[in-house]
């Protein structure tokens, strides 16, 4: 029965596509020129040909296609961008990375990642319907700040339009095995410019997701682990923007609110026969529901001729709340200001310089049972108290920066930059909780500062090809969860155990783009000092361990290849290949060992075929393959160390059909077309761990069908 439903959907899509007129002759030339692509994550736009590292742009059309076969933003990015780990199929991005490093997430250039305490919900902070495009800038980020070794993800929201325009989108989705359990979505956009030349844009989006089912038709838990899931999740998003364009300046305002709640209905249980997490329909769930909430405001001002230079000013305020089913909640309140000037010294020279100031107050806590006394029989007296595990931390940051570009002749562009990362974290006195007992800890101020440089060169071999090479440095503090398990009494004694992470990042590659072919190739290498990682390997340096986390030096390397080719003007093929690998070093013994599954993703291959039948109908077939990985040996007959179980690869195939009619656009997506029975990588990390209690695994989604209708007017 399920197969007949899919056959009917595919046949209907193909029949409708073939029934309408001849092949539509579209031109790719307008979008394939390297010079036309700009990057906006820095204060000023720059051409891709001036960027000496890998950049990937996800367009609004890409987003419109992928959202019918992807459950959230992290899955969309995983489908499209090489080097990013496959979807976790949960609310969390724990275990997902770029090139072995974390990614920082920005919305319109404003950081939303909870860096003091990593909540893992950075990509669960905005509706896809509110996004115009996404920029993914690979590598360490001395030029942009908040230095991480993986990538910057800059989400660019929709903008106002010259004329009043509206767009209404409605959608429905269900798993093929349970079509009656349907989820629904709605989005409304209104944009335009008033008679007084004030631009406006309002986007309202909501989604009521249904329950989840595996390839066998069995209902999956709403949340397969304590991080939260996508089953029966309610989501809404409100984005409002205003802008005023003047003769040589402009001002803009943004207000954004997003919330998602994972409504859990039953408790989880583990099937003793196969180790899979299942729902326990005999035990209704009564605890807190996992959730994420983001509220942010931003004001920007730009002037094209500020004493002969371009000026960019930006101020922001944001609040992030990340809730877990344990009742624990991360609350992060952030505010900041950024000022930058761009000086075009000559036609061949330009300089961008300025400073960035920001504060971040973060706390994580929950209700705990605390031993406050003892009865005569020796039984402890318990009292419920709010206990913070990361307590009222305040980070203050002031970082000046400068970036210089020099054009040498028509073909060579050199760049050099300097940034002084300077931040301190105030840790107040707090109490550590362990098994009902609280212990007083004395706070202090942690201070970090480091000058960082970046160097790069881009050489235009031809009008359609560039060779680039770069060196950049990143510098950032680790997750302050380490304070939760601090084994000493004062932060001052512990400061040397939580150093900042410094990355030296090298990359070189080739970009090519003409009318029919776009391609890229890049190789990269990261030398990382004092990296933080979850590590129980027997070779790890134990005196640098705090609970599950150690601090150690790492090396990560890898490559990425992409290609997109127009076979004809209506038929396009493409794909990407990426792989990274890395090792960690025991500082005491000098022994190197392979990084575990939380850092490294196996080889990943993406392939697609787009066919434009005519002006109305198009079809896309895509496949994403992730390979096997087994690097670290088992500890013994009992199994592997934590996060080191072997990965079993899998392939997921999706089908997307679109129909652009005079009455609107219809999109049909079939996710996991072949109904592959698999486990997401994050589920496999501990499937053979030595501690059998922690071998909990969960299955991936089965075949899912989504239908969406959108009309612009």
CA dist 389 to 227, 437, 485, 665, Å?
17, 13, 9, 49
- 494: number of Cβ within 10 Å: 19
Tell me how far apart the alpha carbons of residues 132 and 419 are, in angstroms, rounded to a whole number.
30
Mean pLDDT of 32-46: 61
Strands 437-441 and 103-107: unpaired
Q: pLDDT per residue over 523-567, tens digit each?
A: 999 999 999 988 888 888 877 788 788 999 999 999 999 999 999
pLDDT score of 540:
86
Tell me how far apart the alpha carbons of residues 92 and 710 are, in angstroms, rounded to a whole number.
29
Q: pLDDT per residue over 187-216, tens digit each?
A: 999 999 999 999 999 999 999 999 999 999
Decide which of 231 and 2 is more confident: 231
Q: Taking the model in full, what pTM does it have? A: 0.91
pLDDT bin (cut points 50, 70, 90) of residue 185 is very high
**Residue in this structure with the two tokens 């071998």, named with its chain if needed:** 695
Q: Which residues pair with 465 in a beta bridge?
A: 462, 512
- 477: number of Cβ within 10 Å: 19
Mean pLDDT of 452-466: 93
Mean pLDDT of 430-440: 92
pLDDT score of 376:
83
Which secondary structure element, helix H or strand E, spans residue 31, and what is its range? Answer: helix 29-32
- pLDDT greater than 90 at residue 691: no
Listing DSSP states for 35-88 in one string gives GG-EE-SSSS-EEGGG--S-EEEE-HHHHHHHTTT-SSHHHHHHHHSTTBPPP-
CA dist 500 to 324, 423, 503, Å?
27, 10, 10
pLDDT score of 518:
94
Q: Which two tokens stand for residue 542?
A: 């134990």
Q: Which two tokens stand for residue 44?
A: 């000023």
- pLDDT greater than 60 at residue 22: no
pLDDT score of 676:
97
pLDDT score of 30:
37
* Cβ 582 vs Cβ 100: under 8 Å: yes
Tell me how far apart the alpha carbons of residues 634 and 130 are, in angstroms, rounded to a whole number.
46
Q: What is the three-class DSSP state of 19? A: helix
* Cβ 370 vs Cβ 433: under 8 Å: yes
Q: pLDDT per residue over 97-149, tens digit each?
A: 888 888 889 999 888 888 899 888 999 999 999 999 999 988 765 567 655 56
Q: Which of 450-454, 494-498, 542-546 has the lowest mean pLDDT?
A: 542-546
Tell me how far apart the alpha carbons of residues 669 and 364 are, in angstroms, rounded to a whole number.
39
- pLDDT greater than 90 at residue 577: yes
pLDDT score of 467:
96
Q: pLDDT per residue over 369-395, tens digit each?
A: 999 998 888 899 999 999 998 999 999
Please give the torsion angle defined by the CA atoms of residues 298, 303, 307 and 308, in that order, rounded to the nearest 10 degrees. Answer: 130
Tell me how far apart the alpha carbons of residues 496 and 486 are, in angstroms, rounded to a whole number.
12
Q: Among 24, 70, 164, which residue's Cα sits nearest to residue 667?
A: 70
Q: pLDDT per residue over 590-622, tens digit each?
A: 999 999 989 999 999 999 999 999 999 999 999
- pLDDT greater than 60 at residue 26: no
Looking at the chain, the whole-number percentage of residues with pLDDT higher than 70 is: 93
Mean pLDDT of 273-278: 84
Tell me how far apart the alpha carbons of residues 89 and 230 are, in angstroms, rounded to a whole number.
7
pLDDT score of 321:
96
pLDDT score of 1:
42
- pLDDT greater than 70 at residue 86: yes
Q: Considering the chain, what is the average pLDDT of its residues?
A: 89
Mean pLDDT of 342-361: 95
**Domain 2-712: assigned CATH number:** 2.40.170.20
């Amino acid at each position: 029965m399920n197969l007949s439903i899919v056959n009917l959907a595919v046949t209907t899509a193909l029949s409708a596509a073939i029934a309408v007129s001849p092949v539509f002759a579209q031109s790719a030339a307008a979008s394939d020129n390297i010079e036309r692509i700009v990057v906006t994550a820095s204060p000023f736009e720059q051409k891709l040909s001036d960027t000496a590292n890998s950049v990937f742009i996800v367009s609004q059309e890409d987003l419109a296609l992928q959202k019918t076969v992807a459950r959230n933003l992290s899955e969309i990015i995983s489908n499209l961008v090489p080097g990013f780990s496959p979807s976790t199929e949960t609310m969390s991005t724990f275990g997902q990375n770029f090139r072995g490093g974390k990614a920082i997430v920005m919305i319109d250039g404003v950081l939303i990642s909870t860096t003091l305490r990593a909540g893992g919900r950075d990509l669960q902070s905005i509706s896809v319907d509110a996004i115009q495009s996404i920029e993914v800038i690979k590598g360490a980020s001395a030029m942009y700040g908040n230095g991480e070794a993986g990538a910057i993800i800059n989400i660019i929201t929709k903008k106002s339009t010259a004329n009043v325009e509206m767009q209404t989108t409605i959608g429905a989705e269900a798993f093929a095995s349970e079509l009656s359990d349907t989820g629904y979505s709605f989005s409304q956009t209104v944009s335009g410019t008033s008679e007084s030349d004030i631009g406006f844009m309002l986007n309202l989006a909501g989604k009521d997701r249904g329950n989840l089912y595996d390839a066998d038709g069995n209902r999956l838990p709403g949340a397969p682990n304590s991080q939260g899931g996508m089953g029966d999740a309610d989501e809404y998003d409100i984005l409002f923007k205003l802008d005023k364009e003047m003769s040589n300046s402009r001002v803009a305002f943004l207000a954004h609110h997003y919330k998602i709640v994972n409504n859990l209905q039953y408790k989880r249980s583990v099937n003793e026969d196969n180790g899979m997490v299942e729902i326990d329909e005999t035990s209704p769930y009564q605890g807190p529901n996992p959730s994420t909430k983001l509220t942010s405001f931003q004001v920007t001002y730009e002037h094209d001729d500020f004493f002969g230079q371009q000026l960019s000013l930006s101020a922001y305020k944001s609040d992030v709340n990340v809730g877990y089913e344990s009742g624990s909640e991360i609350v992060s309140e952030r505010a900041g200001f950024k000022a930058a000037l761009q000086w075009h010294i000559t036609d061949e020279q330009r300089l961008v310089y300025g400073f960035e100031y920001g504060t971040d107050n973060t706390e994580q806590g929950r209700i705990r049972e605390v031993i406050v006394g003892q009865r005569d029989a020796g039984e402890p007296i318990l009292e419920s108290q709010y206990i913070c595990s990361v307590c009222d931390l305040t980070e203050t940051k002031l970082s000046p920066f400068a970036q210089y570009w020099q054009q040498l002749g028509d073909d060579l562009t050199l760049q050099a930059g300097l940034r002084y990362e300077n931040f301190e974290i105030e840790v107040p006195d707090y109490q550590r909780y362990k098994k009902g007992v609280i212990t007083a800890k004395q706070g202090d101020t942690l201070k970090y500062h480091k000058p960082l440089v970046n160097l790069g060169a881009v050489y235009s071999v031809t009008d359609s090809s560039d060779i680039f090479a770069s060196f950049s440095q990143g510098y950032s503090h680790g997750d302050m969860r380490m304070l939760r398990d601090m084994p000493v009494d004062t932060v001052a004694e512990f400061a040397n155990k939580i150093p900042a992470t410094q990355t030296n990042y090298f990359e070189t590659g080739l970009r090519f783009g003409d009318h029919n072919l776009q391609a890229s190739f890049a190789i990269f290498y990261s030398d990382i000092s004092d990296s933080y990682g979850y590590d129980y390997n027997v070779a790890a340096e134990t005196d640098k361990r705090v609970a599950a986390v150690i601090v150690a030096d790492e090396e990560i390397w890898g490559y990425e290849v992409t290609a997109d080719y127009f076979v004809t003007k209506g038929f396009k093929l493409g794909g990407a290949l990426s792989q990274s690998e890395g090792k960690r070093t025991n500082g005491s013994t000098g022994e190197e060992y392979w990084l575990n599954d939380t850092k490294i993703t196996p080889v990943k291959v993406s392939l697609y075929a787009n066919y434009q039948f005519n002006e109305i109908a198009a079809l896309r077939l895509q496949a994403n393959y992730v390979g096997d990985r087994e690097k670290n040996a088992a500890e013994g007959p009992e199994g592997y160390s934590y996060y080191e179980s072997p990965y079993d690869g899998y392939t997921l195939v999706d089908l997307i059909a679109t129909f652009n009619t005079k009455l609107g656009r219809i999109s049909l997506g079939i996710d996991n077309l072949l109904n592959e029975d698999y486990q997401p990588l994050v589920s496999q990390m501990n499937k053979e761990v030595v501690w059998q209690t922690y071998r909990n695994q969960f299955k991936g989604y089965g075949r899912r069908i989504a239908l969406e209708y959108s009309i612009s007017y």
